[in-house]
Chain A
Amino acid sequence: MGLKHDKVVPGREDRVAACMAHGGCASGMGKQDKICLKNNERTFSQAGLCQLLPTLGMLLTLPDTAVIVHGAIGCGSTGFGMNTAIRLHHVLRGNPNAKDSLWFTTNLDESDVVHGGEQRLEETILTVAEKYRPQSIIVLQTCTPSIIGDDLVGVIEKVRPLIDIPLLYSHCEGFKTKVWATGYDVAFYAIVHGFIEKDKEGPPPKKGPRQPGERPVVNVINLASMGKPDEIEIERLLNEIGIDVVIGPNFANRETVRRMTQADLTVSVCPTHDDYLVDYLHTEYGIPFVLKDMPIGLANTRNWLLDIARHFGLEKKAEELIEREESKARQAVQRFLPALKGIKVFISAGEFRAVVTGGLFQELGMEIVGLRSYHHDEFGTEFYEQLVRAQQGKDFPVDIANFQPFELINLLQKVKPDLFCGHVYDNGWAAKLGYPTITIFRIFDHYVGYRGFYEVAKKAARNLRNPSFQKRLGENVGSAYRPEWYQQSPFAYIKTDASPAAAA
């Protein structure tokens, strides 16, 4: 099955054998029994995310769209945080007057739990359509209506004929999957079904072959963690070798999403993020794809560009561009290299982002001493090996954890890095221990391509030059964990089906 025929988006533990709990060494990644990895559990665990949150974060970016969270009052409440980020994205996109994101809760209460929430959902959709007149409406099904047996699809198909705008929906109950990255798939599912498959005009027809002389067009799938500066860098590089781009589906409207079916190639910036959508465009529209690298760091950017160029016979142009850009970027980072040489770095983020950023740091003369990935799947496997090889076989610990700061803090105290580079809400833990930190993404900054290579080097050197904020914090903040915890293995609470957790 796939995006088109799935009734409900499968959890990634099933679809790509994603693993959420594992502790080991970089050199061993991918060598363990997959099934065993998949079934690892924690006997002590800390709050994660659910798939609803990334879904909501992506879908709230669609302009003039109303999101209806079908459930109890609390599920969509992080909308405020997402709204601030999305507003800033819009500002960066030259749209300072963008409206605030709009979302609703169907607010199921105790009596609805007994009597069902379908009627409330129906009323909500109709009211929102009439009163707020959005360009599209998205309905997200959360845990509570799913447990009480609300028929989401039934309600949607009942009201679809009654409203004249695209109606998107998805099941994204948090309890259905451990792997919250499933939420990306869920968002793609809603977008594709709403704007393409079940659109009033039906799916756009397949595009014919390119005419001679016609510039190739590629889809670049963007991420909520990628800011405008990165999109500009990607567009610039591809334009320079003669390729036009369509960027979506985040922040895209219906027309842009439909245009994505007419491209000559789909390019992923993060394979782990995008494969479900990429596969759809391939199966239904025959659009080939590049789903391998992320253009972060010199080598990865090179591979990424060449893979794309190869599709259109543009390798030579790409090679020339790469030579020019690499030499400029290498020249530019010269002044930071002395400060970065031999710096031991710990990285924490979504797996793919973490491993490619590791490559970038190595290119700057730094050494990876630890890495935490939010989950593990096959897309990341070969990169661990590469990272170990690139630092002359020096292995490092890997923690596969959907956050779990207790493991991170324990591990950091053991490996004692010189620098920590983490995703949002990760850096704080390292900072409170006194380690210098740089954030692995920030929508205002460059991370991608050549400009990104330079900016990350600069950012790292700047933070290492004066880490007194973190240092002073480290001297003044206590620990939430018992002293005995630091004596144990950071992975003591991970149990596999075969072996119970050491500490349990």
Chain B
Amino acid sequence: MSHIERPRYQCALGGALVTINAIERAVAIVHSAPGCAASADGAATVGAGYWGSTLTDGRATPSTNIIERQVIFGGEERLSEQIASTLDVIDADLYAVITGCMTDIIGDDVRAVVSEFQKQGKPVIVAETGGFKGDSNLGADFIWDAIVTQYLTPGLPKDNRRVNLFGFVPAQDVFWRGNLLELKRLLGRLGITANTFLTPFDDLKDLKDAGRAALNVVFSDVHGVKPAAVFEETHGTPFVSEPLPIGPTATEAFLRRIAARLEIDPARLDEVLAEEKAYYYGFLTPLTDLYTDQDFQRFGVVIGNVNYSYAVTRFIADDLGWIPYLVAVTDLLTDEQRASVVARFEEIPEILRPKLIFETDTDRIKERLNEELASEADPYGSPISPAYVIGSNLDRPLAAELKAGFFGISYPITNRIVTDQYYVGFRGGLRLTTDIVSALVANR
């Protein structure tokens, strides 16, 4: 490990916290020093297009706010007091105790504290999420593991038209709510009920009964994979890893795979695909003059997390017809996780396969891109002009330096607000085309 410049994630506690915050009628009880919850979700709520806070998030997050005294003498008593009082004051159906660095270091036995409440039948779960254990994505895995093993009803009969959607870390995917809702709509058209869990319209009961699903779809090669494996072990539901489907090509492929797996009527599938494609092309076709006359093909530089970097690259290659040049994956990954990402990029035809780098620091991304550019034989010094950068707000200076177009799609996004926008599916692809091309005509 080494230091990181302006990390594009929070700590494990942060990932667990925002996940709970995104689940309706679930509330976190943070067992940590006073600033941890505010640090973690302050970052997520601003960086995720001003997500903001709902009723039990932000400064309303129940927190033990432990200080030196508890660090020395232990914080278990304080935690027990806080769980009891939270049950009295906050009107929720799931209470998730999550811990910060110091409580993990001093070794509070939080599981023992929580089990006292569980014995009384209280809906309290616990995950140890000390920030030094890793980033938000790991923290989201920790809390999903806790939900799957401590909250879900075991032994439910399977419904072979029901799936659970995983792999979304709120704020890390700035558009998680819109994306989930659109995936739910699309699958719904095929007669599949998709549980999304992380939108404001989800019912906690669907989470409790998530074991009924015949399949778990993890929209990531990394995030959510571990808890999906735990889910399979505990509740017998298998899982598949799917890339986030953006645009007509990826979405059609995704729906065909799912339909085959769940044995959906092929005629119904074709009908849905035809209608959704017609929507995309119905709006895209009239843009043809603009796109071709202005030569809006670009060399693409894509910067983002595991999920977006691949999904966006596929979209610009397959649907926009661009040339992906360099992709920087900014997540902290194990070797094994890296290998799975590399394997995924190898699915891109060689002629369009970009240079793939794993880099957490904004400044290093620039350096490595420049090294790459310097190695190109181009006496005019503009090997990737015209270029376009699709990344986060942190990458705007890079785009400016390259005199490239820019659009922000990965965390952090602070220059617009995000509500129900989405980029998945056919319509999401249309939205992404609209946004990307809009940036090219913005100064007219």
Contact = CB atoms under 8 A, between A and B. Distances in A.
**Bound pair: A and B?**
yes
Interface of A: 43-53, 68, 71-81, 83-84, 100, 102-113, 120, 123-124, 127-128, 131-132, 143-144, 147-148, 173-178, 180, 402-406, 425, 428-429, 432, 477-485, 493, 503-504
B346 to A, nearest CB: 30
Interface of B: 1-7, 9-14, 27, 30, 33-40, 42-43, 45-47, 52-53, 55-56, 58-68, 70-71, 81-82, 85-86, 88-92, 100-102, 105-106, 130-135, 363, 393-394, 397, 412, 414
A76 B101 CA distance: 14
Pairs A-B, 5 closest by C-beta atoms:
A50-B35, A74-B11, A44-B85, A480-B55, A47-B37
Nearest to A176: B68
Contacts of B133: 109-110
Given A75-B39, A81-B46, A45 B6 contact: no
10 contacts: A43-B82, A53-B38, A83-B414, A102-B5, A113-B105, A124-B3, A174-B33, A425-B59, A428-B53, A481-B91
Contacts of B6: 79-80, 102-104
A409 to B, nearest CB: 9
A100 B46 CA distance: 16
Nearest to B415: A84
B88 A48 contact: no
B92 to A, nearest CB: 8
B131 A72 contact: yes
A174 B91 contact: no
B46 A47 contact: no
Contact of B412 (A80, A178, A429): A80
Contacts of A132: 363
A72 to B, nearest CB: 4
A107 B34 contact: no
A53 B35 contact: yes
A309 to B, nearest CB: 40
A496 to B, nearest CB: 15
Contact of A425 (B58, B92, B131, B393): B58
B55 A127 contact: no
Given A46-B62, A50-B33, A81-B47, A104 B38 contact: no
A478 B4 contact: no
B397 A174 contact: no
A143 B33 contact: yes
Contacts of B92: 480
B105 A147 contact: yes
A44 B95 CA distance: 14
Given A482-B89, A503-B88, A77 B11 contact: yes
A480 B56 CA distance: 6
A47 B67 contact: no
Contact of B35 (A45, A46, A51, A477): A51
Contacts of B131: 71-75, 144
Most buried by B among A45, A83, A180, A485: A45
Given A104-B6, A176-B68, 13 more contacts: A47-B65, A50-B39, A73-B9, A73-B10, A78-B42, A81-B42, A103-B5, A107-B7, A109-B134, A143-B100, A147-B105, A425-B53, A504-B85
A168 to B, nearest CB: 17
B90 A481 contact: yes
A72 B11 contact: yes
Contact of B3 (A77, A123, A483): A123
A72 B66 CA distance: 17
Nearest to B64: A45
B363 A175 contact: no
Contacts of A112: 1, 132
Contact of B61 (A46, A52, A111, A128): A46
A361 B135 CA distance: 46
A47 B63 contact: yes
A111 B81 CA distance: 32
Given A80-B47, A479-B55, A174 B34 contact: yes
Nearest to B138: A73
